[in-house]
Chain A
Amino acid sequence: MSIDRDDARRVASLARIRVDEEDLPALASEFNAILGFIEQLREVDVRDVEPMTSVTPMRLKRRADRIAGGGIAEKVLANAPDAREGYFVVPKVVE
């Protein structure tokens, strides 16, 4: 299975990382090196093996369904690149 320039462009777009057109061939070749390495996994017989979901057997705890915090909008917004009037500000999303 080989990754070409179009696959690399598609993956970059899915990952929301801008990659310049001229950098795509090098990226594709790095992907191929890594995926080639990963291909070894095919040699393993995994019939009747359940995929691991939790490395230590544990049941997730449940907490009471009640408000356990809040009222810290200022702290939440403190690190935002752009925040106004208690909101995060982003470019226009809806036309």
Chain B
Amino acid sequence: MDGLNCLSISEARDRLRAGEITSMELTQACLAAADEAEALNAVVHPTPDLALEQARAADARLAKGQAPAMCGIPVGIKDLFCTEGVPSQAASGILAGFKPAYESTVTSRLFEAGAVMTGKLNMDEFAMGSSTETSVYGSTVNPWKSGDTELTPGGSSGGSAAAVAADLCLGATGTDTGGSIRQPAAFTGITGMKPTYGRVSRWGIIAFASSLDQAGPMTKSVRDAAIMLEAMSGHDPKDSTSADMPVPDFEGLLTGEIGGKTVGIPQEYRMDGMPAAIDELWASGRSMLEDAGATLVDISLPHTKVALPAYYVVAPAEASSNLARYDGVRYGHRATLAQGDDITAMYERSRAEGFGDEVKRRVMIGTYVLSAGFYDAYYNHARKVRALIKKDFEDVFADGIDAILTPATPSAAFPLGQEFDDPVQMYLNDVFTVTVNLAGLPGISVPAGLDPDGLPLGLQLIGKPWEEGELLDFALAIEDRAGFVAKPEKWW
């Protein structure tokens, strides 16, 4: 019989409210599962004492009745979120030993709703990567295997994805700058949602590219995504880009009914050399939506091809600015200085020692595209292309498209340690997801099938701004019909 840690959020919520189980039992089951799963390297800072204290408080609250849906639910938190008194280092050596004196808005909201934090989860350093291999803690291993080959869980929210897929927690927070929730969700057979830019406060989330970053839920079902998204969302005066608008009752509104709606199939997402399994998955997704009563329409998003290059100007530019704060003065790593080293030497050596190679690369590319003489040619040009990418979406939505269906990733999970000819090869992982960040739209990855090697594959649905509720209905329509119940065989 499966342990309590294998429950979904909605199942656990119902059983907690019915008094059939306690948060303490549920939390202990998750902590025990995480203890056994060291081989996955998903949890990098376990917080069992805090978890048990929060579980005790949640049980007291549940006993009084009227507890929110997340009350007593054990969740994992990506290491990018600042959590008071708990190491928060964005999987970077430069933040070694950093313990924030404050709590991020997202974790504050989750805790106010009664959620239990079981630990901090692995990720690519500063969320820069698609494989969780750039982490200072070492790679996370995907619970899914291909024969004996260890695979990446994707990234950057790879620890979150692996933890949820391996039932170490019921849900996890992720962040998504170019696909960092949706790609790892697809690689591990779970649901991952990036909300509309501004839906979830960025305050207290260690910044990568501020105009693209957005936090979201990573869960075992679409219903769970609705529950957790609602708890994470809402206006926050401390984030000037957070939207001052009401948060819908996402779960209450969830029906999975999409009859009479129109779904766009963008022709530009049909890539040369795409594996047959991805093409077949996409086709089966189309049938599922038709079966649910939606009308499919071929659409064109003409600037899709240049989204990835535009992203690799905008994101590094913002990163170079955001990461300028790591200077060895206020927090984190400071290099040991030699006699006569000046402050510039302190900056240069602290940053050289503290940042990993991919972060250095992106900070320097960002510095280059913002530098005098290149700013217009690269950065401003990319911002104009970004405006065109957003307009592509606005045009199809204005034409009556309600949602867009694409594959989530160009492949299934790939082996850890795979060598790439150059950094750009790794960047291609984000080819289907990055447009959504550039346009600020909500997107969700739903597990929808297995490839010939038995590895999970995800479909991506893209929605209109602020229409996460409608998007979740499309996702549920896919989930209901895909009947994806496969789980990785436990080897860890």
Could you tell me which A residues sit within 8 Å of B by CB distance?
Answer: 3, 11-19, 27, 30-31, 33-35, 37-44, 46, 49-56, 58, 60-61, 63, 72, 75-76, 78-82, 88, 90-93
Contact indicator B364/A31 (Cβ below 8 Å): yes
Q: How far is the CB of A91 from chain B (nearest CB, A)?
A: 5
Main secondary structure of the interface of B (DSSP, over half): helix
Considering the chains assembled together, what is the distance between the CA atoms of A11 and B328 in angstroms?
20
Contact check, B348 vs A18: say whether CB atoms are below 8 A apart. Answer: yes
| Residues of the A chain whose Cβ atoms lie less than 8 Å from the Cβ of B450 | none
Q: Which residues of B301-337 have CB atoms within 8 Å of chain A's CB atoms? A: 303, 305-306, 308-310, 312-313, 320, 324, 327-334, 337
In the complex, the answer to whether B240 meets A91 with C-beta atoms within 8 Å is no
Min CB distance, B231 to chain A, in Å?
A: 22
Q: Is the CB of B385 within 8 A of A44?
A: yes
Per-residue interface assignment for chain B, residues 402 to 420, with 1 indicating a CB less than 8 Å from any chain A CB and 0 otherwise: 0000000000000000000
| Binary CB contact string for chain B from 212 to 225 against chain A (1 if under 8 A, 0 otherwise) | 10000000000000
Interface residues of B in 326-352 (CB under 8 A from A): 327-334, 337, 341-349, 351-352
Q: How far is the CA of A93 from the CA of B327 in the complex (A)?
A: 15
Please classify how large the interface on chain B is, using the bins under 10, 10 to 19, 20 to 34, 35 or more: 35 or more
Which B residues touch A76, using CB under 8 A? Answer: 101, 330
Tell whether, in the assembled complex, residue B343 and residue A90 are in contact, meaning their CB atoms are under 8 Å apart: yes
A41: which B residues are within 8 A, CB to CB?
Answer: 306, 309-310, 313, 378, 381-382, 385
Closest partner residue, chain B, to A47 (CB atom): B384
Assuming A17-B355, A33-B424, A55-B439, is B388 touching A46 (CB within 8 A)? yes
Q: If the complex has contacts A51-B383, A56-B197, are A17 and B352 also in contact, measured as CB distance less than 8 A?
A: yes
Q: How far is the CA of A90 from the CA of B306 in the complex (A)?
A: 44
**In the complex, are the beta carbons of B334 and A56 less than 8 A apart?**
no
Chain A's closest residue to B422 (CB) is A33
Assess A72 versus B333: contact at CB under 8 Å? Given A14-B367, A14-B371, A15-B320.
no
A46 CA to B384 CA, complexed, in Å: 6
Specify which chain B residues have a CB less than 8 angstroms from the CB of A37 in the assembled complex.
308-309, 312, 424, 427
Q: Are A11 and B422 in contact (CB under 8 A)?
A: no
Q: Once the chains are docked, how many angstroms separate the CA of A51 from the CA of B385?
A: 8
16 sample A-B contacts, Cβ–Cβ < 8 Å, listed by A number: A11-B367, A16-B327, A16-B351, A17-B360, A17-B364, A18-B345, A34-B312, A37-B312, A40-B306, A52-B386, A54-B211, A56-B440, A58-B198, A78-B101, A79-B98, A93-B343
